[in-house]
Structure 1
Amino acid sequence: MGYDNVISLLGEFGPYQRKIFVVIFLPMISCAFHLMGGTFLAGRPDFRCLTPEENPYNATYTTNTTQPVWDNETEAWTSCERYDLSHQVLNNTPTPPLVKCDSFVYDESQYGFTVSTNWNLVCDDAWLKVTSESLFMLGVLLGALVMGGLSDKYGRKTILIWGSVLQLVTSLLVAAAQNMIMYIVCRTVLATSTNGLFVVSYVTAIETIGQRTRKPAALGSLFFIVGSLLTVCLAYFIRNWRMLQVAFTIPTLVFLGSIWYIPESARWLITKGRLDEAKEILREASVENKVELTRDALDDLLKTDNEISETRIIEKTSIYDLLRYPIIRKRSLILFFVWFVNNATYYGLSWNAANLAGDVYVNSGIAAAVELPALLFMISTIDKCPRRVVLCGCMLLAATSLLSTILVPNDMPWATVSLAMIGKLSSSASYSTLYIFSMEQYPTTVRNIGVGASSAVARIAGVVTPLINNLI
C-alpha cells in the first residue's frame, strides 16, 4: 500500500486537506497582487509640460498654457516639448524655439500618485518604467528556478515561511524606496518570491490529495483570480502607490500568522527518510478527517514508498535528458513554444488594460473577471475532453479574436475591448490546461524537469512582454 492509497483511506479532500488548501493558497493572492499591481503602482497618466510661469503646487492638467507641439512622426500632440516663449520675447524672433520639458503636470484623476508621477518616468525617462517591469519578470524567472529546488532540499514549509518573510521585507522596502534605482532593485528581489511561492504552494497542496482527483487543485487558480480582482479594488480606493504597496502585504502577514498551524508535507518527509514525523502527521490527519488509520497501513506505506524513493535516487536525471531522446526532444521544443506564446499573450493582455479605450479600472476588472468562466470551463472539461483539443481550441480562439481587432474601426473602441477580453478568457483557459497537458507529455523520470523547463521558457516571455507593450 503506497502513499496515495493511504490518502484515499484518509479521504482525498476532507477537513484536513481543506484547512491546508485555505492557508497554503494565500501566497497565490499575494502573487496576484505583485504581478498585476504594477499596472497601478507605476501607472502613467496623461501629462503635459509645466511652464516656467506656473506654480507646480497648484498647476492642473486641464490648464492649457503649454502651446502643445505637433509631432509629425507620431501624428499627435507631443507632451515632451514646448515653445520657449521667454526666448522669443528676449530675442524678438517670430518663431519661438522648441525646448524639452523638465517638469510636468499630470492628470491625477486617472491613477493618483504613482511611481511614474513621483519620479517623472515620461519622455526621455520612460524607459525606466519598462525596464523595471522586465526586471521584475526576470526576478519571477529566477524565483521559479530556485525556490522549487530549495523546497525539495529544505522542505515545503520551511521555504514557504522564509520566502514569505523575504516577500514581506522587500514589499515594505519597495514602499519606502527613495529613488527609482532602489525601487527597481527591491521589486526585482520581491519578484523572486512571487511565482516561487506560487509553485511551492501548488506542489504542497497537490501532495495532500489523491491522484484520482485533481479538481481541488483548481482552487489555486481561483485564489489567483480573487487576488487579481482585489488588486483592482485596492488600486481604485488607494491612489497613493506607497500605501497601495503596503496594502499588498496583507495576505503575506495573514499567511505568516497561519502557517504555523499547517504541518510539513508528509510525502516530502517520506522522501527524506523522516518516517516517524510523516506517520505522526498522517495519524493527526486521520483524526481530523474522522477516519481510522491503522498502524499496519502506515507500515505498509513506509515500506513501499521507501523502496520507491531508493529507486528514484538511483535514477538521477537532468535537463539534458529532455534533448537526448528524439521523441522527448520534439515534445519539449513544441511545449517550450506553446508556453512562451501562452505566457506572452496572457500577461500582455493583463498589463495592456491601461492602453485600451475606457477606464483602466473597469478594463482591468473585466480582464480579471473573465478568468472565472475560463476556470469553470477548464474544470468542466478536465476529465471529459482531450487536453490537446481544449488547448488548441482555446489558443485558436484567442488568436482569432486578437487578430480581429485590426479590422475594428477607430470609432468602435468597445468592440476592441470586447475582442481583447475574449482573447484574455481564451488564453486563461489554455494556460490552465497547459499545466496538466505538459505533465502528461513526459515520463515520470523527467516530468518535473520538463514542466520546470517549460515554465522557465514562459518566464522569458514575461521579460519581453513589457517591451512589446511599450511599442504599441
Structure 2
Amino acid sequence: MGFGDVLENVGSMGKFQIVHVLLLSFPALILTMHNLLQNFLAVVPDHHCRIPWETVNGSRHANVTDRARMEDLLRVFIPLDQNQRPEKCLMYSSPQWHLLDLNGTHGSTAEYHTQKCTDGWTYDESKFKASTVTEWDLVCDQKSLRWITQSIYMSGLLVGAIVLGRLSDKFGRRTLLLWSHFQMAVSGTCAAFSSSYPLLCFWRFLCGVSTSGLILNAFSLRVEWVPTRFRTSVEMISNYIYTTGQMLLAGVAYGIQHWRWIQFSLSVPFFVFFLYSWWFSESARWLILNDKADVALKQLRRVAKMNGKQDEGKKLTVEILKSSMEDEQLTAKNKHSVLDLFRTPVIRKIACCTMLAWFATGFAYYGLAIDLQGFGVDIYLIQFIFGAVDIPAKSICFISMSLIGRRFTQSTSLILAGCIIVANIFIPKELKTLRTSFAAIGKGCLAAAFSCCYLYSGELYPTVVRAIKTSGKGKDPERRDTSLQELHRSLMKQTV
C-alpha cells in the first residue's frame, strides 16, 4: 500500500483537507499584493521644481486647484517640455516675468538658461497622497533609486527560496511556515514606519525572504496532504485566490492612497495567519522520511478523526506507514548534493528545463506586472485588468492540464506569451489601448505558465528530491550510481 492509499483511507479529500487548503490559501491574497506592491509604494505623480512662491507659503505638495492658481507663476519659473507641460527636472536660472505678457513676442523657451531644481519638487496629490518617491524625492537624478526597493525585495525572494527551502527540509514545513508568517508580520509592519529609505529596503528584503518561505511551505503542505487526483483542483483554487489578491490590490491602493498605510494594512493580517497556523499538521510524508513515523501516525489519526474515518485511523500502524514510503525512504538514506541533479541525463534534462521555464516565466511576468505607469493608463484600472485577465487564462490552463497534460500546457503558454510580448514591441506607443490589451493577454499567458510551473515542478520533484541536503563524500562510486538510479526511478514514478 502506497502513501496515496493511506491518504485515501483516512478521508481522501475530506473535511480536514478542505479546511487545511483554505487556511493555507488565505495568505496568498496578501502575498500577491506584497509581490506587486512596488506599483503603489513607488508611484510617481506629476511633479515640477518647487518655485519660490511655494517655498514662502510652506507648501511642499500641491493639489490640482493650487496648481491652477499658480499657472502664471509656473510660466515664469518653469520651462515647458515638448508636450507643453512643465518640465519635471528643470527651472529657469532667473524668473522670466516677460512671459506673462501673452500678447508679447517671445523667443523659444529653449533659448533661456535653465538649471536643475534647487529647492526640491512639488507633487500632484490628486491621485496619490504619498509614496516613497514623494517622501524621499526619488525623481530626476535620483529616479534610479526608485527601483532598488523592488530589486532588493526580489533578492529576498531568492535568498528565502535557497535558505528557507533547505531549512524546511531539515526542520519541517510547518515550523518554517510559522516562522515565515511571524517574520512577514514584523518586517512588513516595521517597513511601514521606516524613517529612511535604506531602512525601508532592509525591511522589504526581509519581507521577500519570508514570502518565499510562505509560498514554498504552503505549497508543500497542500501537495503532501492532498491525494494526487485532487492536486489540480486544489492548485486551481489556490491560484484563483492569488488572482483575487491582484484585483483587491487595486481597491486597497485606491482607498488608502498613502504608501505607509498600504504597507501597514497588508502586513498586520499576518499576525492572524501566524496564530491560526499552529493548527496545521506537519507533513506526514516529511515525518516518515525523517524517522518520525510515530508522530506521523498521530497526525494521520487526527486527520482520520476529523474526516469521520476514526476506525480507519486506528488500523494504521508505524509499520504500515514505513512500508508505504519504502521506496522514498531507501532513496532518502543516500545523501545527495545539488550536483546529483546534473549527473544523469534524464534528471539533468528535467532540472535544466524546469529552471529555464521558471526563469523565463518569472522574468517576463514581473517585467509586465511591475511599473504599470509605463503603459500610460490609469494605474488602478490596469492593476485590476491585469488581475482579472488571469481568471480565464488560469481556467483554460487547468482544463488543458487535466485533459491534455502538463508539458503541452507549459510549452504552449510560454510560446504564446513570447509571441504576444514580442509583437507588442512593434506597436506604436501612441496606441495605448492596443499596447495595454496585448500586454494583458501576454500576462494572462504567463499566469497560466506560472500555474503550470508550480504544479508540474512539484510533481517532477517529489519529497525525496526536495529533501536533498548534503553531499555524500567518501561514498563508494558504484553505490553512488545505484542511488542515483533509485532517485531516477522514484522521480519517474512521481511524474504525472
1:99 equivalenced with 2:108 (yes/no): no
The alpha-carbon distance between structure 1 residues 324 and 66, as it changes in their structure 2 partners (threshold 3 A), is farther
Q: In structure 1, what is the Cα distance between the partners aligned to 2:462 and 2:194?
A: 47
1:148 equivalenced with 2:161 (yes/no): no
User: What TM-score do you get using the length of structure 2 for normalisation?
Assistant: 0.82
Could you tell me which amino acid in structure 1 is paired with residue 228 of structure 2? Q
Contact conserved, 1:202 with 1:220, CA < 8 A, in 2? no
Q: In structure 1, what is the Cα distance between the partners aligned to 2:342 and 2:95?
A: 67
Aligned to 2:192: 175
Aligned to 2:490: none
1:159 equivalenced with 2:176 (yes/no): yes
Aligned to 1:39: 39
* Aligned-residue offset at 1:144: 1.1
1:280 equivalenced with 2:298 (yes/no): yes
1:192 equivalenced with 2:201 (yes/no): no
Query: Which of 243, 250, 253 lines up with 1:235 in the alignment?
Result: 253
1:420 equivalenced with 2:429 (yes/no): no
Q: In structure 1, what is the Cα distance between the partners aligned to 2:335 and 2:304?
A: 34
Which sits farther off after the overlay, 297-306 or 344-353?
A: 297-306
* Aligned-residue offset at 1:439: 5.0
The alpha-carbon distance between structure 1 residues 143 and 319, as it changes in their structure 2 partners (threshold 3 A), is same
Contact conserved, 2:177 with 2:213, CA < 8 A, in 1? no
What pairs up with 1:12-91 in 2 under 5 angstroms?
Answer: 12-54=12-54, 55-57=57-59, 59-60=62-63, 62=67, 63-64=70-71, 65-67=73-75, 68-69=78-79, 78-85=87-94
Aligned to 1:435: 454
* Aligned-residue offset at 1:328: 3.6
* Aligned-residue offset at 1:60: 4.1
Q: In structure 1, what is the Cα distance between the partners aligned to 2:466 and 2:357?
A: 17
* Aligned-residue offset at 1:233: 1.3
* Aligned-residue offset at 1:334: 3.7
Contact conserved, 1:113 with 1:240, CA < 8 A, in 2? yes
The alpha-carbon distance between structure 1 residues 96 and 53, as it changes in their structure 2 partners (threshold 3 A), is farther
- Over aligned residue pairs, what C-alpha RMSD do you find? 2.8
The alpha-carbon distance between structure 1 residues 394 and 154, as it changes in their structure 2 partners (threshold 3 A), is same
Q: In structure 2, what is the Cα distance between the partners aligned to 1:13 and 1:396?
A: 35
CA offset digits 1:45-94 (Å, max 9, x no partner): 1211111232342644634444444679x9996411111215999xxxx9
Q: In structure 1, what is the Cα distance between the partners aligned to 2:13 and 2:382?
A: 36
Instruction: State which structure, 1 or 2, has the greater radius of gyration over its C-alpha atoms.
Output: 2
Secondary structure of the residue aligned to 1:48 is: strand
Contact conserved, 2:121 with 2:137, CA < 8 A, in 1? yes
* Aligned-residue offset at 1:418: 0.9
Could you tell me which amino acid in structure 2 is paired with residue 98 of structure 1? T
Query: Which of 297, 301, 304 lines up with 2:323 in the alignment?
Result: 304
Could you tell me which amino acid in structure 2 is paired with residue 426 of structure 1? C
The alpha-carbon distance between structure 1 residues 86 and 443, as it changes in their structure 2 partners (threshold 3 A), is closer
What pairs up with 1:249-268 in 2 under 5 angstroms?
Answer: 249-268=267-286
Secondary structure of the residue aligned to 2:281 is: coil
Contact conserved, 1:88 with 1:97, CA < 8 A, in 2? no
Could you tell me which amino acid in structure 2 is paired with residue 232 of structure 1? A
CA offset digits 1:130-181 (Å, max 9, x no partner): 1121111001110111112212211222211111111111111101101111
The alpha-carbon distance between structure 1 residues 322 and 268, as it changes in their structure 2 partners (threshold 3 A), is closer
The alpha-carbon distance between structure 1 residues 408 and 307, as it changes in their structure 2 partners (threshold 3 A), is closer
Could you tell me which amino acid in structure 2 is paired with residue 7 of structure 1? L
Secondary structure of the residue aligned to 2:229 is: coil
Q: In structure 1, what is the Cα distance between the partners aligned to 2:459 and 2:304?
A: 31
Report 1 or 2 for greater relative contact order, CA contacts < 8 Å, sequence distance ≥ 6: 1
The alpha-carbon distance between structure 1 residues 235 and 163, as it changes in their structure 2 partners (threshold 3 A), is same
Q: In structure 2, what is the Cα distance between the partners aligned to 1:69 and 1:375?
A: 49
Q: In structure 1, what is the Cα distance between the partners aligned to 2:349 and 2:328?
A: 29
1:387 equivalenced with 2:406 (yes/no): yes
1:115 equivalenced with 2:135 (yes/no): no
Contact conserved, 1:30 with 1:248, CA < 8 A, in 2? yes
The alpha-carbon distance between structure 1 residues 18 and 439, as it changes in their structure 2 partners (threshold 3 A), is closer
Q: In structure 2, what is the Cα distance between the partners aligned to 1:268 and 1:444?
A: 7
* Aligned-residue offset at 1:17: 0.5
Q: In structure 1, what is the Cα distance between the partners aligned to 2:269 and 2:372?
A: 25
- Structure 2 unpaired stretches of 5+: 99-108, 469-496
Could you tell me which amino acid in structure 1 is paired with residue 211 of structure 2? T
Contact conserved, 1:82 with 1:98, CA < 8 A, in 2? yes
* Aligned-residue offset at 1:97: 3.0
Which sits farther off after the overlay, 377-386 or 361-370?
A: 377-386
Contact conserved, 1:49 with 1:66, CA < 8 A, in 2? no
Q: In structure 1, what is the Cα distance between the partners aligned to 2:90 and 2:467?
A: 53
Which sits farther off after the overlay, 55-64 or 112-121?
A: 55-64
The alpha-carbon distance between structure 1 residues 308 and 329, as it changes in their structure 2 partners (threshold 3 A), is closer
* Aligned-residue offset at 1:401: 2.2
Contact conserved, 1:50 with 1:56, CA < 8 A, in 2? no
Could you tell me which amino acid in structure 2 is paired with residue 298 of structure 1? T
Could you tell me which amino acid in structure 1 is paired with residue 363 of structure 2? A
Which sits farther off after the overlay, 245-254 or 297-306?
A: 297-306
Contact conserved, 2:305 with 2:313, CA < 8 A, in 1? no
Aligned to 1:202: 219
Q: In structure 2, what is the Cα distance between the partners aligned to 1:446 and 1:278?
A: 20
Which sits farther off after the overlay, 205-214 or 57-66?
A: 57-66
Query: Which of 370, 373, 377 lines up with 1:354 in the alignment?
Result: 373
1:248 equivalenced with 2:266 (yes/no): yes
Secondary structure of the residue aligned to 2:228 is: coil
Q: In structure 2, what is the Cα distance between the partners aligned to 1:198 and 1:132?
A: 20
The alpha-carbon distance between structure 1 residues 310 and 414, as it changes in their structure 2 partners (threshold 3 A), is closer
Aligned to 1:401: 420
* Aligned-residue offset at 1:269: 2.2
* Aligned-residue offset at 1:23: 1.4
